[in-house]
Amino acid sequence: MTALIALDGVSKSFGSVKATDRFSMELADGEALGVIGPNGAGKSTMFNIITGGVRPSEGRVYFAGRDITRTPAHERCRMGIGRSYQIPHPFANMTVFENLLVGAAFGGSRTEAASYEDCHEILDRTGLLQKANALAGALTLLERKRLEMARALATRPRVLLLDEIAGGLTEHECAALVDTIKAIHRTGVSIVWIEHVVHALLSVVSRLVVINFGRKLAEGDPHEVMASTEVQEVYMGISAE
Amino acid sequence: MEWLDAIIQGILLGGLYALFATGLSLIFGVMRLVNIAHGDLIVLAAFLGLAMVNGTGVHPLLSLIVTVPVMAAIGYALQRGILNLTLGRDILPPLLVTFGLSIIIQNVLLEVFSADTQRLKAGALETASIAIGDQIAIGWFPLIVFLAALGVIAGLQLMLFRTRLGMAFRATSDDHRTAGLMGIDNRHVFALAMALALGVVALAGTFMAIRTNFSPAIGPARLLYAFEAVIIGGLGSLWGTLAGGVILGVAQAIGAKFHPGGQILAGHVAFLIVLVLRPNGLFPRTRDR
């Protein structure tokens, strides 16, 4: 079976900084993959390469077997790549409901009636129903993070890229978020999740990739990867003596 | 009575200024592009109308059936072919390119139509009026222009808040990168916005050509009125743009009452007063990052 997403030797430099350095990875259809690494390791750049915000200077990007290296971002979205940003980017002058409607109508290529139902259901699932008619610019940080995920879901993605969505949440909020993400995964949506809140990550993903200096440092079973001395040393900042 | 008359004429003139400014406002709102060639595009539309009327003998208002779609098509091609390439983090490239475009349009018009002043003749419509009492008469043509401005702005407002395309406009206006991630093709959306804007420009150019004399060189002054109307009303707000046009028109009409040469100056003074007291305009968009 072909991988849903495959990165084949992609590199991207910003000036002299190599944000991504000959990086390869695969995501199977239906898989939930976790990505960890220190700040500035190139995790978000990797997401940008997948969504089309950044074009790699070398290497190829594949989606469901198709080479999408030169495909513009809006077409990738329509193919089924959804993403949430670490720093929320809502359409501030539109209501929460309209934010989702944009995703559903354009990214999900749905009719208007079907879009309304979808959006209502997604708002309910992500706990934003009460805020449906509020201006997105007036939301709290937690609500904006939920909106990021809700809007990505409205595009009916086959894979959802989540960028540090649990950061800054209380224990209780985080647990609720994990439940929501698990429920999304159960509906058949593949997940790639960049997260510093490791315990939240480990309760969802079945495989873990560790990135450092734009390269893959380790990969495999989450608990084994977390236990490896290499990862402890580089990522957790604990010297293994 | 004389003053009331001046104010009424000023309001009606404001309709024309609002039409000048609507395209500018829409484009700035959707893609943060300041189109320096806007005034020259208005003049281009006027000459297109002139060529139509001279060539076929139709009434100027009937020529709109052709000039509006032609200008819209030019707008779409211009945006896809040139202006999209200039949009980015830096605000300078679009300014420079549209400035160059302004010079090109002026010179092409000069080459083709010469520097002579022209006028579109609308026959009896130019002088037809409705008398209200003994001292006030409202011209049919200024009234038509004002109602057209109202209709255009109401229509655009409906489009923005009731249609799929309008939703795409508002989303790209808020954050065009994220709009791309939501499946919106920005290049296409921007081009449609420019097409709409130049469709309105065709209307404005033809009305201007019926109302006043025009020549290839008058574009920059129209741009100035358009800018002032947009800034008075508040950037990105269409109803504000209408209000801005009306304020400009009324100020000019009142200025002309004080002194025959005071018309233009009074408009600029009104603009400066608003700029000092309300730098964001009278009806700024609620939220902008």
Confidence of residue A56 (pLDDT cuts 50, 70, 90): very high
The Cα–Cα gap between B1 and A201 comes to 76
> Which DSSP category does B236 fall into?
T
What pLDDT does residue B159 have?
A: 95
Q: Over 90: is that where the pLDDT of A79 sits?
A: yes
What pLDDT does residue B1 have?
A: 75
Task: With respect to residue B264, please indicate whether it lies within any of the assigned structural domains.
Answer: no
Task: With respect to residue B246, please indicate whether it lies within any of the assigned structural domains.
Answer: no
Does A101 contact B180 at a Cβ distance shorter than 8 Å? Answer: no
Strands (E) located in A15-151: 17-27, 32-36, 58-63, 66-67, 81-84
Confidence of residue A1 (pLDDT cuts 50, 70, 90): low
A151 contacts on B by Cβ (under 8 Å): 182
- Percent of chain A having pLDDT more than 90? 53
The CATH architecture that domain A1-8+29-71+161-241 belongs to is: 3-Layer(aba) Sandwich (3.40)
In sequence order, the 6+-apart residues with CB closer than 8 A to the CB of A153 are: A82, A103, A122, A125, A126, A160, A184, A189
Average pLDDT over residues B146-152: 97
> Which DSSP category does A130 fall into?
G
Does A85 contact B178 at a Cβ distance shorter than 8 Å? Answer: yes
Q: Nearest-CA distance from A97 to chain B in Å? A: 12
Does B180 contact A74 at a Cβ distance shorter than 8 Å? Answer: yes
Task: With respect to residue B104, please indicate whether it lies within any of the assigned structural domains.
Answer: yes
Please state whether the predicted TM-score (pTM) of the whole model is above 0.80.
Answer: yes
Best probe of the B interface among A74, A79, A163, by most B CBs < 10 A, is A74
Encode pLDDT of B3-34 as tens digits.
899 999 999 999 999 999 999 999 998 998 99
Best probe of the A interface among B84, B162, B182, by most A CBs < 10 A, is B182
Locate the domains of chain A by residue range.
Answer: 1-8+29-71+161-241, 81-156
Q: Answer yes or no: are the C-beta atoms of A76 and A52 closer than 8 Å.
A: yes
Task: With respect to residue B138, please indicate whether it lies within any of the assigned structural domains.
Answer: yes
Does A101 contact B167 at a Cβ distance shorter than 8 Å? Answer: yes
Does B180 contact A72 at a Cβ distance shorter than 8 Å? Answer: yes
Does B183 contact A78 at a Cβ distance shorter than 8 Å? Answer: yes
What pLDDT does residue A114 have?
A: 83
Q: Nearest-CA distance from B167 to chain A in Å? A: 7
A92 contacts on B by Cβ (under 8 Å): 174-175, 287-289
Task: With respect to residue B21, please indicate whether it lies within any of the assigned structural domains.
Answer: yes
Average pLDDT over residues B195-207: 97
Residue A53 is nearest to which of B177, B179, B286, comparing CB atoms?
B177
Angle formed by the axes of helices B2-31 and B238-258, to 10°?
Answer: 150
Structural domain including B161 reads 2-219
Confidence of residue B89 (pLDDT cuts 50, 70, 90): confident
Confidence of residue B288 (pLDDT cuts 50, 70, 90): very low
Domain count across chain B = 1
- Percent of chain B having pLDDT more than 70? 98
What pLDDT does residue A237 have?
A: 63
Q: Over 90: is that where the pLDDT of B289 sits?
A: no
Give ipTM to 2 decimals.
Answer: 0.83
Does A107 contact B182 at a Cβ distance shorter than 8 Å? Answer: yes
Encode pLDDT of A173-197 as tens digits.
888 889 989 999 999 999 999 998 8
Mean pLDDT of chain B: 93
Residue B286 is nearest to which of A78, A89, A93, comparing CB atoms?
A93
Encode pLDDT of B156-182 as tens digits.
999 999 999 999 999 999 888 899 889
- Percent of chain A having pLDDT more than 70? 97
Q: Over 70: is that where the pLDDT of B208 sits?
A: yes
Q: Answer yes or no: are the C-beta atoms of A191 and A185 closer than 8 Å.
A: yes
What pLDDT does residue A240 have?
A: 46
A175-180: long-range pairs with CB below 8 Å, 24+: A176/A127, A178/A203, A178/A204, A180/A125, A180/A126, A180/A127, A180/A149
Q: Over 80: is that where the pLDDT of A230 sits?
A: no
Q: Answer yes or no: are the C-beta atoms of B33 and B83 closer than 8 Å.
A: yes
Task: With respect to residue B276, please indicate whether it lies within any of the assigned structural domains.
Answer: no
Provide residues of B within 8 Å CB-CB of chain A.
164, 167-168, 170-171, 173-175, 177-186, 285-289
Task: With respect to residue B234, please indicate whether it lies within any of the assigned structural domains.
Answer: no
Q: Over 50: is that where the pLDDT of A226 sits?
A: yes
What pLDDT does residue B286 have?
A: 53
Average pLDDT over residues B107-135: 91
The Cα–Cα gap between A161 and A240 comes to 32
